[in-house]
Structure formats: C-alpha cells, structure tokens
Amino acid sequence: MTAFEDPVDGTVVEETRPPRLLVIGAGQRGRAYARAVRSDTKGIVVAVAEPDDYKRAEFGRSLIWGDSEPPAEGASFSDWRGFIAYEQQRRARRLAGDGDTPPGVDGVFVCVQDEMHREVVLALTELGGLHIMCEKPLATRLQDCVDMYGALRSNTNANGEQMVFSIGHVLRYSPHNMLLRKLLLQDRVIGDILSVVHTEPVGWWHFTHSYVRGNWRRESTSAPSLLTKSCHDMDVLLWLLCSPPYSSLPDLPPPHLPSTVSSTGALQYFKKSRKPVGAGAATNCLSCPIEESCKYSAKNIYVGQGLDVGNTEWPVRIVVPDIESYGEKSKARTALLSALAEDYDAGMPDAQVAQRNWFGRCVYESDNDVCDEQVVTITWDEDPLPASPRDTGLDPAGGRGAKTATFHMVAQTQRVCQRYTSLYGVDGEIYADSYKIVVQDFRTGKATTHETPQEGEGHGGGDLGLTRQFVAAVDRVKNAGWSADRAQRELIGCSLEEVIRSHAMVFCAEEARRGKKVVDWREWWADEVEGRLSKMSAN
C-alpha cells in the first residue's frame, strides 16, 4: 500500500482500494465528471453505459481502457439496463463462490437526460448497495422527485446501511460559493442577512442553443427552464438562507424555512411575433435571406465562431457528436452544415418534431415554450431558535430574522452563466460575482475584496469540487469505516431533505407564476411533498 495526502482534511493515510465508479451517460456532463475523477480524486472510472456507439467507444478509449486494449468484462454497456442485468448476474456469481467474478462498482454517476433520472435512479436503488451521484435536476416532475426521495431513503447495502447520495448542485462546491457561505454564516461579516438579489445571466446565444433549439426547449419533453437551468441557483439561495451554518455537525438546528413564494415570468422574446420582417417565411438559418446579419445565425454560432476557429467541443459536439471522427476540417464542416440544414414543416407530426433537436431552426420559428425571463421572490419570517446559544457562538436568533431573496433568470445577457449576487445585511453589504467577493463593512467603512480561485472551467470549480467530495465520501465508507450518514454530512454537506426542498421550491415557484399568486410555503410543502410521501407510505 502507498500513502497519500487526503484531499479533504490533509491527513496522510494509506491507500487501500480505490473507489470504482460507473458513469451512465457519456455526454458532456458524464465526461466532465469522469475527467474530474481522473484528475482530482483517487477513484477510478471503470465502466460506462451509453447507447450511442461513438460516444461510448470514445469515452472508453479516452477515460477507461485506452487505445490498445478492448473493454474488460463489465466495462462497457449499451445502456443502463445492460448494467443492471450484468450486475445482478455478477452478484449471483460471487454468492455462488465463483472465484473469477470481477469486482463490481462502488458508486455511479447518473448523467442521462433529465427525464430519465427517475427510472435510472429507482432501478439503482432497487439493486441496492451503490452510492449515487445524480446530475441536476433530480427529476422533471414533482411526483418523480418525491418518488426518488422515498427510494433513496431506503437505498441500503446488505447490512442495512444507508448509501451516500449526491445531486449535481455543483454551485455548492465552487471555492467562490464556499467562501461566500463562510463569510456570511460563520464569520457573519455583514451580520444578519436582510436581503439577497441573485442573477443568473444565461447568455443571449447560449439560451438559444439549449432552450430554443436544444434539449430543454419544451416543457412537455423536458421541464420549465427554472428547473433545468436554475434549480441549483435556487439551491444556493436556500443553502445560504435556510440551511444551518455548520452543515457537517451531527446536532444541527432546524432549517430556517421560507414563509412565502411568488414568481413572474414568460417566454418574452423567442417567438414568431418577434421575427424580423426581412426573414420572411424562412424557418431555417441556412435558407434565410438575412442570415449573415442575424446574431442568432446557426451557421455563425456553430461554424463561423465554432468549427472554423478550431472548436470541436461544446456546443459544436452537441450538434454533431462524432464531429472529430471526420478528420479533415472540410468533411467535418460539410457534416455540420448538413445537420444545421435539417428542418421540419407543418406536415411533420408534433411528436416527431419534439423527439429531437433542430439546431439550424430559426429561433423565432421554433417549437420552444419555456420562459426566457423569470423572477422568483422568497420571503422568510423571523424565526428565532428557542434554545440557548449553541457552541457556534451565535445567539438563538442569529441569522434567523426576517429576510427576502430575489432571483432573476435572464436570457439576453453578454455574460454566459457568470452569476452575480448582492447581499445586504445589518452591518454591511456584499457584491459577489464569479471571480471576487467585495465586503463593505458599515461599522468601519472598510471595503475588503476576496479574490476567489477558479478550479477548472466547470462552474468555477464546482464540477471538480462536487466530484472530489462524492468520491471522497465513497472512499471513506469503503475504506475508512465511516457510516454513510457521516460521509453525507461531513463530505457531501447536503441532506436528502435539502435536495428535495430545493427542487420543491422550483415547482412551488412555478405554481405561483402560473397562478399569479403568492404561495404559503409551509402549507404548500405539507400538501405537495409531505402529503405525497404519506400516500407513498400508505401504499
């Protein structure tokens, strides 16, 4: 055995059995987590499940078995069902005493399309004994989230021990947001928080790629954009304003629960009524008379500003997944233009239109219906703790006064997902963006700037941070004798209840938006979450 420095607490321990991991879904998110496993953890990705032959083979060659070796037994599956069937057989062989049975996996990264999360996670929990990280959102419907919540609570190993669960709320794990939370809740640099205004600027062309032309453009086949794009923004707000300051302690105070939720928003711009007159009847960029002057030109976004300048990664790879297999740029360009030229007319059934993406489609003629602008307002009533001061140094009411959070998701921005937040407290205010945190202290008049490191390109280091913590949690349970409960608290830092609460907040906000009303959070939670859980238990 060799010694290594623990990535979490810096202690030197002996390496035993590295966590073995499966990635289900070899798309952008699956590759991002697999690369993070390789670069920043002691875990190893040993298997992939992916229906697309090219994606699966490329993922395997680059991240598992290399160029010279064929996949080993249990390393490659054409879909997640293939893994489930194999794992059941593998466990049966092991129980039968077959000495040649290969080792299984300890944890799974679920990175399939959002609407598939429920089915995959429920199958994994039924199999049992596996730690699970599921990409956000948990699911696209509230009932599915509740179903998964119930199943995950009963996901145990052969000894009845709870398994670790992590959700892809990567914003919790970026160095920037971890520092911001420490400054606010532990150091209390601005005292009690009174108000937070948080903005997610999606980006004018990025929104069209994902939410007008891409996978997340229709609620019927995906979910509201507040869920698919901004559920982890809602999670961060609740993490800052609802969860206890020290989430790793075993004896935690209850969360400071919201009082009311309201929301406004709509599909304001990407619709036919906004189409430039000069575009005429064109429905595809490649046949549009004003394509060259249109900022939403698919040809310019994916070819001119993409492939032609050497980019074969996102978003080009999303349009043509095997773009690198064409070799010569001219052949790749032809394939890309061919994909962008694909279109539909009124004669194509809507169900067929909805089944796939149309990246060359005019953004004013698409079948999108999700909001491109939305505001959510959450309020908290004063809710002091009745107990005496805890050893955190806070008085019982500290951090639990009345407060308000406003979240704004907006498509038309130059920034692409570079969030920024203003926080107002009784003793000061903070401005935080993706790179710095500026604290203005009312008591001293002093302004302090904290530059925050950027670990990689994924969500300001959040991709690396989440992967690092999940794999470390799996490792502690596997090799250090930790209970999953301890690993969940100390390393994941997010409970199952917090996962369901942040998702439920999105569905509550959507109900408020559609009904043009202010929703009482506690009543809504009792009816829509606890009520559904009670029905599940009764059945």
Min mean pLDDT across 94-98, 307-311, 344-348, 394-398 is at: 394-398
216 has a pLDDT exceeding 50: yes
Q: What is the average pLDDT score of the chain? A: 92
pLDDT in tens, 224-269: 999 999 999 999 999 999 998 877 677 778 999 999 999 999 999 9
Measured in whole angstroms, how far is the alpha carbon of residue 13 from the centre of its chain?
31
Q: How far apart are CA 451 and CA 429, in angstroms?
A: 17
Number of domains in the chain: 3
Would the CA dihedral through 484, 485, 490, 492 be positive or negative? positive
pLDDT tier for residue 387 given thresholds of 50, 70 and 90: low
The confidence score (pLDDT) of residue 471 equals 98
Residues 409, 511 within the same domain: yes
Residues 265, 279 within the same domain: no
- Please state, in angstroms and as integers, the Cα–Cα distance from residue 175 to each residue in 333, 466, 483, following that order: 39, 11, 26
Residues 373, 397 within the same domain: yes
184 in any annotated domain: no
Tell me which amino acid residue 186 is.
Q
Residues 280, 209 within the same domain: no
Residues 206, 293 within the same domain: no
Tokens 């009745």 found at: 386
Give the domain extent around 264: 192-269+369-425+498-524
CATH (domain of 479): 3.40.50.720
Residues 229, 376 within the same domain: yes
pLDDT in tens, 262-319: 999 999 999 999 999 999 999 999 999 999 999 999 999 999 999 999 999 999 999 9
Contact 368, 212 (CB under 8 A): yes
Residues 265, 276 within the same domain: no
Query: Concatenated DSSP letters for 164-224?
Result: PEEE--GGGGSHHHHHHHIIIIIS-TT-SEEEEEEEEE--HHHHIIIIISSTTS-TTTS--
13 has a pLDDT exceeding 90: no
Contact 144, 114 (CB under 8 A): no
pLDDT in tens, 405-449: 999 999 999 999 999 999 999 999 999 998 899 999 999 999 999
Measured in whole angstroms, how far is the alpha carbon of residue 432 from the centre of its chain?
21
Over residues 10-17, the mean pLDDT reads 58
The confidence score (pLDDT) of residue 456 equals 64
The confidence score (pLDDT) of residue 15 equals 53
Residues 88, 152 within the same domain: yes
Residue percentage of the chain with pLDDT more than 70: 93
pLDDT tier for residue 110 given thresholds of 50, 70 and 90: very high
Tell me which amino acid residue 258 is.
P
Tokens 């903070």 found at: 430
Residues 381, 331 within the same domain: no
- Please state, in angstroms and as integers, the Cα–Cα distance from residue 209 to each residue in 150, 213, 318, 518, following that order: 34, 5, 9, 32
